[in-house]
Structure 1
Amino acid sequence: MANILIIDDNDAVCTALKTLFMLQGYQAHSVASEQQALAYLANAQVDLILQDMNFAKGEMTGSQGKALFYQLRALLPDTAIILMTAWTSIDMVVELVKAGACDYIAKPWDDERLLTTVAKALQLSQLQQSQQRLAQKQQARLSAFAGKDLCGLVFASSAMEQLLQMALQLAPSNAAVLITGENGTGKEGIAQVLHANSPRKHKALVKVNMGALPADLMEAELFGAEAGAYSGLTKTRLGRFEAADGGTIFLDEIGNLSLSGQMKLLRVLQTGEFERLGSSVTRKVDVRVLSATNADLTKAISSGAFRQDLYYRLNVVELHLQELKNRRDDILPLARLFLRGEKTLSKEAEQALLAYNWPGNVRELQNICQRALLLAPEAQIQPADLALPQEETSGKRALDDFEQQQIEQALQDAGGVIARAAKQLGISRQALYRRMEFYGIATP
């Protein structure tokens, strides 16, 4: 229940406003002067202040209210303040709104407009406080990774935090790691973190997209080939494994490797030895192998398309990246990163991004932000500028996985304690805050 402080020297005005607010379910308290307001605020917390601009009889300049506003803004920088008076200059109102006042209500006021203004101000304040809490948690998360190279990765979700902690724990070892997840989830970024925090970081990280290599050239690309090994090759070709000697090789879309290539890869993993195509000379390298796939390799094993022994060599540890739709807290930090500070997102655009299902994951988000950066006509991006596919946004909304009644009941059962309600629903506190924002449920 929101707590509203009314600052006005007119008893009749205070009584009318307190009655109006209490009928709407708000708590309301009134004081008659600047001194009383500051004394009350020293011992009480308020969610919104409705402030008159003149307190002395015959005063009409608004200077008293202006001075009080700046005192209140310095004392409570995050509290919503609405100005109200019959006598003041428009220039002063504009100045104070620019300085952080939520709005200005003229006397005599319209009850409906006043209540709408108060509701919007409270909603915006709660959203800002929620974002501040998320930012503080993000800062705390980043401090836990102090001294580590995250390779520019941005995250706010607990899922990514746990994954990165595991990756950093694995980084110093030589263990083969299989990174799994849908296309566009950021598997290459995790491989970069593993390499950058390993003893091999001063050597090469060689990336190979197995899906982009022709099948007949795949083995030559990986292990090299002698001149004349195949038509058109006139000089020795150095393979990716030789290029990665002493460092790390990242084999993306590993499920595309041919069976003969799988056999050679298995040997490299076991002994570090291989031969170039067209050569009988055995060569040896010291390479850590990281691989990634969006396919189910166990099914490929069952069909005979992938060697089981190679699978177990590659999958000493598996790191699984969740889809972006399951990492909702990462969406806005990533979007701001992709916008590079050149443009900002309106609140409506942020809501549209959060409600979208992201079938293309982080890669799709990056593309949409880059397009909006180029085509949005204003400095602030609106939902239309995002051009999100209609078929994805017209169905069940992404945050609509709990009914409003379920969330309200959980909050009631938990006595308004967010952590308890989140635990009852089986989601994180951040996820619960997102859904409360989605439904317009006020923070208890």
Structure 2
Amino acid sequence: KTIFFDNVDELPPAMQARALGAIRAHARAREGGARYVASSRRPLGEMVRRGLFNRDLYEALAPLTVRLPALRERGSDIQLLARNFLIPRLSFTPAALRALSEYPFPGNVRELKNLVKRLAIVPLEASGGMIDAPDVREQIIVATRQKAEHPRPSWRAAVEAANREIALRTVAALGGDINAAARKLGVSAAALRRSIRSAGGISIPRRR
């Protein structure tokens, strides 16, 4: 059987210890065949070095590590995944697919899947079941408004807010190293500093 730890980097220390205890107890009971799989948004090795993650739990989970690039780094996958998540009676217009590719999806595949689910329940009778770019942008703007970052956001503000969220997460994951975060994001360190200081937007390059 497979035991999956979702977003293991978000476990508080007490829960990390409990997870490690469960793995060790399972091993002592000789219940062979069990596999432990974990997902993480942040580099666990770096968190261990900073004392933010249990080293023993990391070693128990990390014999094989696969780095899956963020969705914004796999621009060609966005349209493929969106089509796959959509129910058969609906389809995207080319403009809608381009709008999806413009958004950086800080929540990665889960955020894209939730967006497609919301689009599937929006009344589309007048368009014959076709989801267009305004539908995509409206749902993303609504989600941004719900985060309370922008009471009345525009499409541009929603994209900037998503880019800023990615930037802040990257800086935090790299221990506050602005230069390393800038290299990872493909932007200048000066632009990243300005964005963080002013809470303004930043343009993060997309990979196609």
Same fold (TM over 0.5): yes
Aligned-pair CA distance for 1:315: 0.5
Equivalent position to 1:285, from 20, 25, 31: 31
Structure 1 segments unaligned to the other structure (5+ residues): 1-246, 274-282, 402-426, 432-444
Aligned-pair CA distance for 1:351: 1.4
Amino acid at match of 2:110: R
**Structure with the bigger percentage of strand:** 1
Aligned-pair CA distance for 1:325: 0.9
SS of 2:39's equivalent? strand
Please give the residue correspondences for 1:333-352 in structure 2 after superposition, counting only pairs within 5 Å. 333-352=80-99
Equivalent position to 1:355, from 89, 99, 102: 102
Cα 1:319–1:375 shift into 2, 3 Å: same
The answer for the alignment partner of 2:115 in structure 1 is 368
Equivalent position to 1:382, from 121, 125, 132: 132
The answer for the alignment partner of 1:153 in structure 2 is none
Amino acid at match of 1:392: A
Distance of 1:361 and 1:254 partners within structure 2: 16
Cα 1:333–1:260 shift into 2, 3 Å: closer
Cα 1:308–1:266 shift into 2, 3 Å: farther
Amino acid at match of 1:285: E
Distance of 2:37 and 2:96 partners within structure 1: 37
Please give the residue correspondences for 1:100-249 in structure 2 after superposition, counting only pairs within 5 Å. 247-249=1-3
Which protein shows a greater Rg? 1
Aligned-pair CA distance for 1:352: 0.9
Amino acid at match of 1:249: I
Identity of aligned residues (%): 27
Q: Is the 8 A contact 1:376 1:385 kept in 2?
A: no
Distance of 2:30 and 2:112 partners within structure 1: 42
Aligned-pair CA distance for 1:303: 4.7
Moved over 4 A (4+): none
Please give the residue correspondences for 1:393-432 in structure 2 after superposition, counting only pairs within 5 Å. 393=159, 431=208
The answer for the alignment partner of 2:21 in structure 1 is 264
Amino acid at match of 2:130: Q
Q: Is the 8 A contact 2:71 2:77 kept in 1?
A: yes
Cα 1:310–1:394 shift into 2, 3 Å: closer
Structure 2 segments unaligned to the other structure (5+ residues): 142-154, 164-185, 187-205
Q: Is the 8 A contact 2:78 2:101 kept in 1?
A: yes
SS of 1:319's equivalent? coil
Matched, 1:307 2:54: yes
Distance of 2:92 and 2:63 partners within structure 1: 42
Distance of 1:350 and 1:314 partners within structure 2: 37
Q: Is the 8 A contact 1:297 1:306 kept in 2?
A: yes
The alignment's TM-score, normalised by the length of structure 1, stands at 0.29
Aligned-pair CA distance for 1:266: 5.6
The count of residues paired between Structure 1 and Structure 2 equals 143
The answer for the alignment partner of 1:330 in structure 2 is 77
Aligned-pair CA distance for 1:329: 1.1
Residue by residue over 1:122-174, the C-alpha shift from the partner in whole angstroms, topping out at 9 and shown as x without a partner, is: xxxxxxxxxxxxxxxxxxxxxxxxxxxxxxxxxxxxxxxxxxxxxxxxxxxxx
Distance of 2:17 and 2:102 partners within structure 1: 46
Distance of 2:20 and 2:108 partners within structure 1: 33
The alignment's TM-score, normalised by the length of structure 2, stands at 0.57
Cα 1:394–1:325 shift into 2, 3 Å: same
Q: Is the 8 A contact 2:87 2:120 kept in 1?
A: no
Distance of 2:79 and 2:17 partners within structure 1: 44
Distance of 1:316 and 1:266 partners within structure 2: 14
Distance of 1:348 and 1:381 partners within structure 2: 9
Aligned-pair CA distance for 1:294: 2.2
The answer for the alignment partner of 2:148 in structure 1 is none
SS of 1:285's equivalent? coil
Equivalent position to 2:6, from 252, 270, 277: 252
Residue by residue over 1:26-80, the C-alpha shift from the partner in whole angstroms, topping out at 9 and shown as x without a partner, is: xxxxxxxxxxxxxxxxxxxxxxxxxxxxxxxxxxxxxxxxxxxxxxxxxxxxxxx
Cα 1:369–1:267 shift into 2, 3 Å: closer
Aligned-pair CA distance for 1:362: 1.6
Distance of 2:119 and 2:18 partners within structure 1: 43
Q: Is the 8 A contact 2:86 2:116 kept in 1?
A: yes
Distance of 1:347 and 1:315 partners within structure 2: 41
SS of 2:66's equivalent? strand
**Structure with the bigger percentage of helix:** 2
Distance of 1:311 and 1:261 partners within structure 2: 13
